[in-house]
Amino acid sequence: MRVQSLTSGRPAGGESHWRTWLRSRAVRLRSLLGESAGDDGDDERHGIAGLGALFSFVVRVASALITFLAQVLMARWLGAHDFGIYTYVWVMVNVVGTLATFGLSMSAVRFLNEYMEHQHPALARGFLRFGRLLSFGMGLLAAAGGILLLHLFPDLIDEDFRLPLMIGLASLPAFALTDFHDGTGRARSWLSLAFVPPYILRPLLLLIFVGVGVWVFGMRTAWAAATALTLSTWLVAITQMLLQERRFRRELGGVRPAHQHRQWLAVSVPLLLLDSFTLLMTNVDVLLLKLFVEPSQIAIYFAAARVIGFVAFVHFAIVAVAMPRFATAYARNDIAAAARMLRRFRLWTFVPSLLAAALLLAIGPFVLALFGESFTAAWPVMAVLAVGYLARALAGPSEAMMAVSGKQTFTAVITGSTAALNIVLNIGLIPVFGLLGAGMATAGAFIYQALVFWLATRRLVRRGYDRPATNDPRDGKEA
């Protein structure tokens, strides 16, 4: 039901205008939070996109706060030794599970929008089935291979790590499935179903399960925490899949799926490389610091990077809203609409990012002091990293626009070159400038990436999409 029908005319049954207005706002809020079918209304619903971005930003901030609280409590409950082991297990699950989707979580934003725009529900159903099976299957294969390897070669890793890692690997199929549904939820603008399960529900369940293990059963071990991680990941994956499937049944009905496996993989594999390079970009500075500085210095840098990293949540929120709209514009071959959206999204990204960076730098010394007195020395690192984040914000969701506009290979190449540049700069600058050198390297890599994508989107807007005006996703493809 449209909002206009709720607010036009005299309220039925003597209902007050104020009450009718409140009800209409509730209906509209549901659509803003991603409860609609995902149509952007030919780029006319600017308010919907804006509040959708705000919603995804709030979810990411809430997730960061919940995760931070969980990390503090788990460190206290488990102790530094076992918490360190759990952290290692979580990083492994996060990296391998993300790559297990083969890039389909990102290509979902393009293909599902394209198929729904051109009214090809059979292809949409086929992509959904293929993505679920491949993500789950690759996660299962990685889990089985990892567990078997650790079983056959027990000396491959320290004894303290072996059992927790084997338990954590069992969560990989569910983690990959959740990551895929993150993409399908964003594709249909179901932001609540895309973000709340992995970013809110999973860390809350993890915290509850670990707390029960500690206070009820007295289990303060890494393998108990890994068990809690696996249980929470599976519960979230099943819940999210069932909720999204109910929505897809409303949209797609009982249509028989059609398949374009080669096309899907041809687009998704470069996006897999993009995911790999992005993971490298977000971890390489900490990894390389281990070669040059003491662990205490790594902790100081990590604290500074995580505090100023809140600025990046603005960029994430805008990308979550922008990608499906760019994909729809690509499906319609409407480069003019994409250009207008890009200008608007750049403004929405840069202004809040600038305000957030200014606020975080102002309160930075006080926030860093919460970690310990020695951590306040990392404020210059925060300032340098802020420059890099602001450069990305100024470019806006340019990378997202390229990725869903048939330029996924170019996007992966540029992101890979950015990761390589980051490695080279870190190796060259850390020995000379220490922690500040790591910040300079990461900021420099972000500036390079932002500049390239800014120029690339300008060229794309000037030349238009490399596709015919009357594109049918079935033309010339397998069925």
- Nearest Cα to Cα of residue 453 among 406, 400, 390, 404: 400
Burial class (CB within 10 angstroms; exposed 0-12, middle 13-18, buried 19+) of 72:
exposed
pLDDT of residue 181: 92
pLDDT of residue 32: 41
Range 94-106 burial, b when 16+ CB lie within 10 A, else e: eebbbbbbbbbbb
Say how many C-beta atoms besides its own lie within 10 A of residue 40's C-beta: 22
Query: How confident is the chain (479 residues) per 10-residue block, as mean pLDDT?
Result: 34 46 47 42 46 60 74 68 72 84 81 77 88 93 93 82 90 94 83 83 91 84 91 95 89 79 79 72 69 66 78 79 80 83 88 91 83 76 93 88 79 84 90 89 92 90 68 44
Burial class (CB within 10 angstroms; exposed 0-12, middle 13-18, buried 19+) of 248:
middle
List CB contacts of 448: < 8 A, sequence separation 6 or more: 418, 421
In the chain, where the domains are located? 61-259, 261-466
List CB contacts of 123: < 8 A, sequence separation 6 or more: 111, 115, 257, 258, 259, 260, 473, 474
| Contact yes or no for 197/177 (Cβ under 8 A) | no
Question: For residues 236 and 196, what is the distance between their CA atoms, to the nearest angstrom?
Answer: 10
Question: For residues 214 and 220, what is the distance between their CA atoms, to the nearest angstrom?
Answer: 6
- For residue 39, give both structure tokens: 């149509």
Say how many C-beta atoms besides its own lie within 10 A of residue 263's C-beta: 17
Range 219-235 burial, b when 16+ CB lie within 10 A, else e: bbbbbbbbbbbbbbbbb
Say how many C-beta atoms besides its own lie within 10 A of residue 373's C-beta: 8
Chain centre to alpha carbon of residue 304: 21
pLDDT of residue 41: 45
SS3 content of the chain, % helix, strand, coil (to 5): 85, 0, 15
Range 193-209 burial, b when 16+ CB lie within 10 A, else e: bbbbbbbbbbbbbbbeb
